[in-house]
Amino acid sequence: MDLPPPLSAADKNSFAYPTIKERLPVILAKIADTLYRTREKIKSQYQDDASEELKSIIGSCSKLRNEVQTNKVAVPLQDSRDDTRVWNQYLQTVTEREGSPPSWFKSPWLYMECYMYRRIQESVEKCKIMKEFDVFGEQKEKSFTDSVYPTEIVMMHLLETQQKIKENAELIPEAFKVFLKVCLWGNKCDLSISGGEDNAQKTSPLEQLDKLEPNILIDNSNVALNHLQSRKCERIDIVLDNAGFELISDLCFAEFLLSAGLGSTIYLHAKAFPWFVSDVTKKDFNWTLQKLGQINHIAVSNFAQLWKERLNNSSWILQVHDFWTLPFDYSQMETYAPDLYQSLQKSDMIFFKGDLNYRKLLGDLKWPFTASFETCLHDFYPAPLCVLRTSKSDVLVGLPEGRDEEIKAQDKDWLVNGNWGVINACLKTK
């Protein structure tokens, strides 16, 4: 199949350009500023003097910011993480294929943006005292604490729904769509698109559903539901995206799936290290459960306790795989992570959350808006899947002819402001 070209900052009309020109330098500057501003608090967390390592992380992020702004070439990683070899081998392959190393305003956006976050991790990997430090930790914690009100609302609704569907299974389809769409719109709360600026969910996520319904450009929720109800589904996977309210919405969706008998084991996939500012690491996941347990609210404390048990009794399985923080799109998973691909093949349905997952599912290529979602997955069919994504980048497929112009007339930034969402399902398996 002839593939379209990748999105790149070489195209000044793509969102890649303002992302690399403005947004990534802002994210890097915010790291340096936050670490400097909170230096005493950070150092107090370590017994040994972390001053030099803190200075080195700040210096590395500032140097990287300059590299982005002056369009330097990508250089090999120099830490000893397990994935370093794959990253450096790929860099060499691309350099030989293209005749020169990748650079910020020339090369594919997906590679360069992933490379930036891996370079940030390199600055931490080189440390001894601060080796586990999360440069985005403060921002992620704040996005959670700012979202306690909607968290209580959704979890109360979940508790009430669980009671109702026990008595009347006919309520399951409607309830499924409520939790699926709360999960979709939870993706608006992403600190990468906001450059780290506060964008926690502060209003009731249930009240906004009706208002946002017209902003769902493609809604395959019935396809996903019918698939889940058409057989005895055992394993359902959720490839997580952002910490904060989005994670809460994902966990409520996961709990609903089990309560409604739509699955019996939920695999939850988190990131191996801090990624795209707000993506969930295992540490974020466990911190969130621990914080939920401290909230004095009947539904919240009920689920915090239950969810810790689920991790112990394996009805929820939290997994981390390095592939999710490599620069490859998902058509390359079978090559670079056959173990992960084979594991996902055992799933009855994989839910992918968020814009970066959507971009990786479609190769971050410049597909026409009317291209078929199934075709654009180009070779990635491990199991039936459904992606829940608010649009924050130029790639979007599956629209009828002319629909893009209609939406653009309503909202010129419709592709990148997170106000429009898609629920795309594909049941094809290879």
User: What is the maximal distance between C-alpha atoms in the chain?
Assistant: 66
User: Of these, 83, 241, 284, 348, which contacts ligand F1X (CB under 6 A)?
Assistant: 241
User: Using DSSP, how many helices (H) and how many strands (E) does the chain show?
Assistant: 19, 7
Q: How far is the CB of 152 from Mn ion (least distance, A)?
A: 24
Cα–Cα distances (Å) from 277 to 36, 243, 364, in that order, read 18, 9, 19
Torsion of CA 63, 64, 65, 71, to 10 degrees: 110
Quote the least distance from Cβ 421 to ligand F1X, whole Å. Answer: 10
- Residue keyed to tokens 């695999």: 267
- Binders of ligand F1X among residues 339 to 358 (CB under 6 A) are 354-356
Q: Can you tell me which of 133, 288, 392, 422 binds ligand F1X, judged by CB under 6 A?
A: 392
The pair of three-digit structure tokens given for residue 114, joined into one six-digit string: 């992933």
CA distance linking residue 127 with residue 134, whole number of Å? 12
Q: Which is nearer to ligand F1X, 263 or 418 (CB)?
A: 418
In the region spanning residues 275 to 294, those forming contacts with ligand F1X, defined by CB under 6 A, are 276
Quote the radius of gyration of the chain (alpha carbons, Å): 21
Helical (H) or strand (E) element with 37: helix 24-37
Q: How far is the CB of 111 from ligand F1X (least distance, A)?
A: 13
Question: Scanning residues 259 to 278, which ones bind ligand F1X (CB under 6 A)?
Answer: 276
Helix (H) or strand (E) holding 7: none
The rounded distance, in Å, linking the Cα atoms of 25 and 28 is 5
Binding test (CB under 6 A) with ligand F1X, winner from 199, 221, 347, 393: 393
Phi, psi of 261 (to 5 degrees): 70, 25
By CB under 6 A, is residue 187 in contact with ligand F1X?
yes
**How near is the Cβ of 121 to ligand F1X at its closest, in Å?**
16
Cα separation, 105 vs 21, whole angstroms: 8
Interface map 377-416 toward Mn ion (x if CB under 5 A): ----------------------------------------
Q: Decide: is 279 part of the binding site for Mn ion (CB under 5 A).
A: yes
360 binds, among Mn ion, ligand F1X, none (CB under 5 to 8 A by kind): none
276, 307, 358, 367: which one contacts Mn ion (CB under 5 A)? 276
Which of residues 123, 139, 151, 242 is near ligand F1X by CB under 6 A?
A: 242
Q: Kindly write out the interface string for residues 222-251 of this chain, putting x where it contacts Mn ion by CB under 5 A and - elsewhere.
A: -------------------xx---------
Residue 410, class by beta-carbon neighbours within 10 Å (0-12 exposed, 13-18 middle, 19+ buried)? exposed
Closer residue to ligand F1X in complex, CB, 259/424: 424
Give strand pairing partners of 425: 386
What is the rounded distance in angstroms from the CA atom of residue 263 to the CA atom of residue 17?
42
Which residue has 């900052």 as its token pair?
A: 9
Toward ligand F1X, which CB reaches closer, 7 or 399? 7
Q: Phi and psi of 256, rounded to 5°?
A: -60, -45
394 touches ligand F1X (CB under 6 A): no
Only segment of 210-218, 223-231, 256-264, 277-285 that touches Mn ion (CB under 5 A): 277-285
Only one of the segments 49-57, 190-198, 260-268, 335-343 lies at the binding site for ligand F1X (rule: CB under 6 A); that segment is: 190-198
| Smallest gap from residue 279 Cβ to Mn ion (A) | 4
DSSP bridge pairs for 389: 422
Q: Closest distance between Mn ion and the C-beta of residue 280, in Å? A: 8
For residues 329 and 119, give the distance between their C-alpha atoms in angstroms, rounded to a whole number.
19
Residues lying near ligand F1X in the complex (CB under 6 A)? 19, 23, 113, 187, 190, 192-193, 241-242, 276, 354-356, 359, 392-393
